[in-house]
Chain A
Amino acid sequence: DAGITQSPRHKVTETGTPVTLRCHQTENHRYMYWYRQDPGHGLRLIHYSYGVKDTDKGEVSDGYSVSRSKTEDFLLTLESATSSQTSVYFCAISFTSGRVMNEQFFGPGTRLTVL
């Protein structure tokens, strides 16, 4: 998984509780992404980061926040979990060669269930 770990790998929580998912990389890549995967929707971008403390919203960012205080860690927080946030969450990393964007490498995923 290209030096990417996600924790926890599985989590069950209750509606209304805060949840934080962690993505850790050992590649020192600049770009990091959080996606969610749901049947029939493929992967959808939640938030992304283009450097330490530089983050922006993706397609489905409502109810999520992120932080990146150091290159290797990108945290995804569900401020008050809802059942609609039950999903599999993937972190990805990437880098540029000159001005060209390279492929994204994905982590193993976190399966989150909100009861």
Chain B
Amino acid sequence: GENVEQHPSTLSVQEGDSAVIKCTYSDSASNYFPWYKQELGKGPQLIIDIRSNVGEKKDQRIAVTLNKTAKHFSLHITETQPEDSAVYFCAAQNAGGTSYGKLTFGQGTILTVHP
């Protein structure tokens, strides 16, 4: 089955700096890659996603890049703010066939943005 590795496990930055979180996946059939943000005591919330027919996607201060050949994808947050502090998860999915939308998650990254 799919295996997703996420690094780093913790990331500490100063407000205004950029943050980058990287994930690798093992199953070449995976074609959908969402990123979730989880605040303390809440469920994960989707912040951005990318499908395998696209190499990069941007939404304001957040961007995701995908390298299908190398089987890795990354989350980039620019101009970080204290409210960006949270746990971030990457995930991979085979969005077609009989996978029924099952997601395989990375281990999570605790991002701390210091004012």
Contact = CB atoms under 8 A, between A and B. Distances in A.
Interface residues of A, number: 29
Contacts of B115: none
Interface residues of B, number: 28
Contacts of A90: 43-44
A59 interface: yes
A90 B106 CA distance: 16
B93 A43 contact: no
B96 interface: yes
B18 interface: no
Interface string B1-32: 10010100100000000000000000000001
Contacts of B6: 42
Contacts of B43: 1, 4, 90, 106-109
Interface of A: 1, 4, 31, 33, 35, 40-45, 48, 50, 56, 58-59, 90, 94, 96, 99-101, 103-109
Given A43-B103, A96-B101, A104-B101, 16 more contacts: A31-B100, A41-B107, A42-B105, A43-B89, A44-B105, A45-B104, A48-B101, A56-B100, A100-B96, A101-B95, A101-B99, A101-B101, A105-B46, A107-B43, A108-B42, A109-B42
